Amino acid sequence: MDRKKELKQQYQEVAIVAGVYEIKNNVNGKVFVDSTRNLKTINGVKFSLDNQVFKNKALQADWTQFGKDAFSVTVLESLKKDEKDPYFNEKEALKELQQKWLEKLKPFGERGYN
């Protein structure tokens, strides 16, 4: 019983890190850029793609056509939280971080899935 409590405590102490990630089609070079408040949820994104229920239909179609081995998933940047700023808005900061990467990579039209 103590082991279960210990594991639960360890899970609760793990920091939740927000950030921006990309899913890149290594066959045609197209990129999908998205953000999440918990980078651990990327496994859930892969699960959605594997089960053909992902929100982005173009990415889903290519994932189904080329297979998951044709794609790479990379964390582009983790959000640096400003613990000293009482007005720090994680959601807004994450949106700005994602916008920065969208402008940098321009994953639109023939170049991507956004």
Which domains are assigned to the chain? Answer: 15-104 (3.40.1440.10)
What is the pTM assigned to this prediction?
Answer: 0.83
39 CB contacts (<8 Å, ≥6 apart)?
A: 17, 18, 19, 21, 75, 78
**Per-residue pLDDT, 108:** 97
Per residue in 14-71, pLDDT (tens digit) is 678 999 999 999 999 999 999 999 999 999 999 999 999 999 999 999 999 999 999 9
Please report how the helices 42-50 and 57-66 are oriented relative to each other, as an axis angle in degrees rounded to 10.
70
